[in-house]
Amino acid sequence: MDEIGNHLKIKMKLAFLEQMYAIYDHYLEDKEFSCKRFCDSCCTRNVTITTLEGSYILRHLSSQDQGNLIGCLERDRFKARFSPEVTINRFADCCRNGGNPPEEEADPNWTPCSLLKGNECPIYRYRPFGCRCLVSTVHCRETGFAQIDPLLLTINTIFQQYIEHIDLHGATGNLIDVILHLKQEDGNEVFQRDKKLKNTNLVSNTILTYLMIPPEHREEVWPILDSIQRIRV
């Protein structure tokens, strides 16, 4: 019974995540960005994901495609990449309580993303939110940097906080570390179990207690918050 209940919980969380992706994609539909499929200017090894997002990716791949993906990640597992020390919700709590969150920097030269095949992403349809939300209004290859509207940055943060929240007993880490961890002997449902993440580069997720929304954006983000809160699975 516990396994059945756990499976249902996983399916519900994955369905919730899929609806969040749909809400975000709908929000971007009428907006113009330079970022398109097959543009790999910002595709580095610095992408962070939750274990829920990792499971979402794996569940949409065939056994052969999973094997190919794992092979790419194993090849790069010792290469330099960004590994977060805190999650987005822990960062929010720290700021709210007057703490000093760690200063974390990701080197943009840690390229390319381990999954790229030329300039094509083989998991583009199921890509994690960290990839979906990097949408620049200028061509990064020409300018050397991305330019994202401040309101969109706030909306991106909201989605990141909610995604961590629904993956409460999971963890956050670099895409390489999360996927390889999920494919260990416990299988790709380990994220549902409240285990200590010893000897990994992952950090435990935590509940959402404080949304980081600047006063000037509160009215504009309300429709997004309303859509998220109306999700039913």
- pLDDT of 144 over the 80 cut: no
Of 72, 70, 59, 55, the C-alpha closest to 117 is 72
* Mean pLDDT computed over 46-59: 96
Specify the pLDDT at position 125: 96
Specify the pLDDT at position 196: 55
Domain boundaries, the chain: 2-229
Angle of CA points 220, 208, 2, to nearest 5°: 130
> Most confidently modeled of 1-10, 133-142, 164-173?
164-173
* Mean pLDDT computed over 198-225: 94
Specify the pLDDT at position 124: 95
| % pLDDT > 70, the chain | 89
pLDDT digits (tens, 9 = 90+) for 75-104: 999 999 999 999 999 999 999 999 999 989
Bigger pLDDT: 138 or 64? 64
Q: Which residues face 49 on adjacent strands?
A: 173
Residue 174 main-chain phi, psi, to 5 deg: -65, 145
Specify the pLDDT at position 1: 41
- pLDDT of 190 over the 70 cut: no
Bigger pLDDT: 193 or 41? 41
Angle between helices 51-59 and 2-28 (to 10 degrees): 90
Q: Which residues face 174 on adjacent strands?
A: 48
Give the least confident one: 66-80, 98-112, 131-145, 212-226: 131-145
- Average per-residue pLDDT for the chain: 89
List of residues 6+ apart from 2 with CB closer than 8 A: none
- pLDDT of 228 over the 80 cut: yes
